[in-house]
Amino acid sequence: MELKGVGVVLTGASGGIGQALVRELVSQGAHVLAVGRRVEPLQALLTDLGERRAQVQIVQADVSKTEGMWQILQACRQSASPVRVLVHAAAIGGFGGFENTEPAHIAASLQTDLLAPLLLTQVLLPLLKAQPQAQVVAVGSALGHIGYPGQVSYCAAKFGLRGAFEALSREYADSTVRFQWLAPRATRTTFNSNAVDAMNAELKTAVDSPEAVAAQLLAAIRDARPRLQIGWPEKLFVRLNGAFPALVDRALRRDLPVIRRYFSTAAEAVVPLQHAQGDSP
């Protein structure tokens, strides 16, 4: 899709990947409704954009709340550029042992990472279907394909969202709306705690910059690619986990003592309720 003059709704715009993706979209001439729960980083983003700030409209809304979804719908209806692209990039994370994870955090993770994207998509679908061509994009994660120790609730939400988008892409295959699942690997943003960063370093996990991830996401959006897994060997692990899960079981079991050691230093039993996501550990 040619993005010049196109209206794009982007949730999670106050975080690392989200902000980088706003910049990429603006560079292509898109008009972005930048949605975030925290207005301060959104205002800072506008300042950084300089003359191009006119292409961005801030929408302060909590996607996990019903009133937040209606705020987004109202902003879409009032947008000077008809909305043709919806990008779900808001999520919450959390690293630590399952037994010590607060039940409220598990519920919040499923609400924000799974239910909110589905419900917001449902709310905006009539507007999208009215366009000659439209796209709904889930910024997923490698952890939507591979269950990872210490990430139970995040994996549950991302596995569910991937399945939902696969079903939606097939349900609307004969319509003008395309559904995309685009999955980054570990990304260098504040989504991850110091404990996760240290664990990634010890395990020699490859970590991408948000700018590099945003550039690949933009290319996939422009090409309307239905699926994308960023990074190698993550692409291989995803395929192995689907075809030969026992191989991944053995690999992660070898890493389990290291992963568990960082449970005790993890600082986020409960984390803030909105970040730009895709920063899998």
- Per-residue pLDDT band for 265 (boundaries 50, 70, 90) equals low
Say if 1 falls within a structural domain: no
Q: Look at residue 114 in the predicted model and tell me its pLDDT.
A: 97
Q: What is the mean pLDDT of residues 235-253?
A: 94
Say if 221 falls within a structural domain: yes
Q: Look at residue 195 in the predicted model and tell me its pLDDT.
A: 86
Say if 2 falls within a structural domain: no
pLDDT single digits (tens) 41-64: 999 999 999 999 999 999 999 999
Domain of residue 50: give its range. Answer: 7-276
Q: Look at residue 275 in the predicted model and tell me its pLDDT.
A: 39
More confident position, 170 or 94: 170
Say if 281 falls within a structural domain: no
pLDDT single digits (tens) 101-156: 999 999 999 999 999 999 999 999 999 999 999 999 999 999 999 999 999 999 99
Q: Is the pLDDT of residue 267 over 70?
A: no
DSSP letters spanning 163-223: HHHHHHHHHTTTSSEEEEEEE---BSSTTS-HHHHHHHHHHT---B-HHHHHHHHHHHHHH
DSSP for residue 111: I
How many domains, in total, are found in the chain? 1
Q: What is the mean pLDDT of residues 211-235?
A: 95
Say if 46 falls within a structural domain: yes
**CATH number of the domain enclosing 247:** 3.40.50.720
Say if 200 falls within a structural domain: yes
Say if 70 falls within a structural domain: yes
Say if 226 falls within a structural domain: yes
Contact 178, 134 (CB under 8 A): yes
